[in-house]
Amino acid sequence: MAHPQTRTYTSSTGLRASSALNSFGGRYWIVEYGGSMTRPVGGKEVYDHLEDIFERERGRQKGFSGGDLANGAGTTRSSQTTTFTDLRPWLERTGWERTFGGIDRELLKNLTTAPSPVTSHRGLILKESSNRSSDVYSDEWMISSADDERKITALLAAVDMLMDRCEQTARTTSRSLLCWLRSVRPHGCYAKPFTFVGKAASRRKYIRVLKRFVALVFRAYRLPADIRQRRAGIRFKKSQLRLISALWNHEAWTQHDALTEQLWRSMKLSDGADVEVDCDVESTDGEDDCEDGDDSDDQSSVMRADDSETDDMDDEDEESEEEDHNRNEDQSGKTNAMRNSGGGKFPPWIKEVLEFLFGLIMAFCTEEVMDGRPDSTLLVYYSGVLGFSADLTGFLPARSYTSNLAALIYIQRLLFLEYAVPMQDYPHLGISRRPRTNQLARLQNVRQEYLVLGSQSPFEELFSLLAFGRAIAGSETPAFLLKWSDDGQVVSYRDDIAVHMEQFRRLPKVLLVRAEALCELLMYGWKPPCDLVSVKDDMANTTHEFSFVSHPKNGLAEAYLELTLKACTSQADSLSRKGRWNQKAIFEYLKKEEALRENLAGLMLMTCGGQPRSPDLLSIRSQSKALNQ
């Protein structure tokens, strides 16, 4: 059979056509373009365009799945614009994308890091070195020296003393003034007064937010001006620079041990020794008439923000109560030694440092808003730094962030109260102590300018943002999502936790076993001779501190004394040692008691049907004063 005859035609545009005869006498054509016999639908240009798009999309999806974080690139890559999947209303309200666009977020985060014993000896790395860095100061500014960190640590210890002073002022302020302090309306006071946070751990966390701001101020001050403005986005006013310089270069730092944190901690317990008693007497010029019933006119979001701003950080702190007690005991000993040596009052240089520190903080609290942009003030700018996500590529949602706003609002209210009606004067700042009359007028002058809605101040912006954040938090994606198995028997969270329904049904029994074991430990193995079936009670007896325990027929009136004897004479975990309280054992005992209450609360929620009043059932209604001695 003869081979088919083939003819080929080629054009100048790259089109190639071949014609051939087959064995049956027919002719067919083969057309090629660019070496390919297939023609893309829509044209090659469309495919080239989509290829680039698909490549970028695969890279983006890889980043979301943790590919960059797994190899360590997540913390070093440049800041990215938050994608459309984030909550746009929250980010549009905060303006963080615009504020921190082109700013070195890693540097800002490190500027706000709380000092530690390690940084006081080795310094703090503000920015990881990069071979691509073109900064002239790259070897100088990337580390905050150990000397600077020690001074900052001492300044932050002074912040504790300053806040003690502010709290003492609040304790001696009348209820009516505290109602006005809490109000954000220009001409109406709040129905309830400003109050302290309920837990010591919350107080420490609130003050720590202020300390991080103070650390930011001084670390930024020590940066070269060009780096501070261009990389960190921080610009100090001349008046602020003068205050920072006066405090940083104060002659107090030449005093012996002035740079040690222990010195400042040992002195804070003697604060207020030189305050005269008569300034505790409040004015009686009709300030108590403030509760006029106008609180119903407030917007509900503002009311909710006000009511809950002191409850956001009521959780456990990193420092245990035992550590706090031991530290306070050491401080008390040093304070007594200072008093015995004639140091009952602060040395003049300490008073000056506290006064300058208070003036510096208030300079930022009262900073004017420029060009209608609240983030032009450093305090609002700092609040945005607190909103950085852990990997520095995004921002926290409102639900995870509003506790920071609550802390800043709480601290500012204490500071502004001290600014308006202090118990002692600040001569270098030109602030006189509170008068015995017309205190409300002084508070109103400050409040109307800085603490009310529409006042164009850092406080007003933070309060408005808190109200907005609380309103929008309900529409955000939940903090975590649970997944059910197809058979409906297993509920899981990611790949970390999986609970079978059979396990869940056994949970009350597990809690009961734990509660019994804890009760055995707390009772030191002792069981009072009491038959629960025959327990007597008198529900009509409303005498203070009466309960079934004190009913004479139950024989339990002095059972707690016998338990105390067993707890103090036990061979293991005795609460008394060599005639003194064993503080370590006592704190361990309190932890066990708290764990018992947690287990009992869980049992109440699971087995009682309705919502139990566990706080009332588990809280102590009375406390022996002798235990505090």
Task: Report the alpha-carbon distance of residue 272 to residue 361 in Å, rounded.
Answer: 20
Task: Return the SS3 of 70.
Answer: helix
Mean pLDDT of the chain: 79
Length of the chain: 629
Q: What is the pLDDT of residue 283?
A: 36
Span 285-310, pLDDT tens digits: 333 333 333 333 444 445 455 555 55
Task: Report the alpha-carbon distance of residue 130 to residue 106 in Å, rounded.
Answer: 13
Mean pLDDT of 170-194: 95
Angle subtended at Cα 378 by Cα 376 and Cα 381, rounded to the nearest 5 degrees? 75
pLDDT band per the 50, 70, 90 thresholds, residue 571: confident
457 vs 602: which has the higher pLDDT:
457
pTM for the model stands at 0.68
The pLDDT of residue 30 is above 90: no
**Best-predicted range by mean pLDDT (65-74, 444-453, 562-571, 574-583):** 444-453
Q: What is the pLDDT of residue 75?
A: 38
The amino acid present at 466, given as its one-letter code, is L
pLDDT band per the 50, 70, 90 thresholds, residue 620: low
Residue 577 structure tokens: 């040692």
Residue 134 structure tokens: 């073109």
CA-only gyration radius of the chain, Å:
34
The amino acid present at 328, given as its one-letter code, is N
224 vs 476: which has the higher pLDDT:
224
258 vs 139: which has the higher pLDDT:
258
The pLDDT of residue 80 is above 70: no
Q: What is the pLDDT of residue 166?
A: 96
Q: Are 448 and 456 in contact (CB under 8 A)?
A: no
The amino acid present at 529, given as its one-letter code, is P
Mean pLDDT of 574-589: 91
Task: Report the alpha-carbon distance of residue 442 to residue 252 in Å, rounded.
Answer: 32
Q: What is the pLDDT of residue 140?
A: 57
The pLDDT of residue 581 is above 60: yes
Q: Measured in whole angstroms, how far is the alpha carbon of residue 233 from the centre of its chain?
A: 23
Give the number of C-alpha atoms closer than 13 A to the C-alpha of residue 538, restricted to the C-beta side: 14
* Beta strand residue intervals within 469-517, DSSP E: 483-484, 490-493, 497-500
Give the number of C-alpha atoms closer than 13 A to the C-alpha of residue 146, restricted to the C-beta side: 6
Span 360-369, pLDDT tens digits: 999 999 999 9
Task: Report the alpha-carbon distance of residue 613 to residue 605 in Å, rounded.
Answer: 10
The pLDDT of residue 214 is above 90: yes
Q: What is the pLDDT of residue 48?
A: 76
The pLDDT of residue 621 is above 70: no
Task: Report the alpha-carbon distance of residue 576 to residue 146 in Å, rounded.
Answer: 43
Span 529-551, pLDDT tens digits: 888 888 888 888 888 878 888 88
Q: Are 418 and 436 in contact (CB under 8 A)?
A: no
Q: Are 291 and 184 in contact (CB under 8 A)?
A: no
Span 439-484, pLDDT tens digits: 999 999 999 999 999 999 999 999 999 999 999 887 777 777 888 9
Q: To the nearest 10°, the Cα dihedral for 532, 534, 535, 538?
A: 150
Span 478-525, pLDDT tens digits: 777 888 999 989 999 888 889 899 888 888 899 999 999 999 999 999
Residue 48 structure tokens: 């080239």
Q: What is the pLDDT of residue 25?
A: 65
**Cβ neighbours of 334 (radius 10 Å):** 15
Q: What is the pLDDT of residue 557?
A: 85
Measuring CA to CA, which residue among 234, 235, 228 is closest to residue 127? Answer: 228
pLDDT band per the 50, 70, 90 thresholds, residue 130: low
7 vs 219: which has the higher pLDDT:
219
Q: What is the pLDDT of residue 295?
A: 39
The pLDDT of residue 168 is above 90: yes
Stretch among 156-160, 170-174, 217-221, 329-333 having the lowest mean pLDDT: 329-333
Bridge partners of residue 580, in order along the sequence: 577
* Beta strand residue intervals within 534-585, DSSP E: 576-577, 580-581
Residue 433 structure tokens: 């102590």
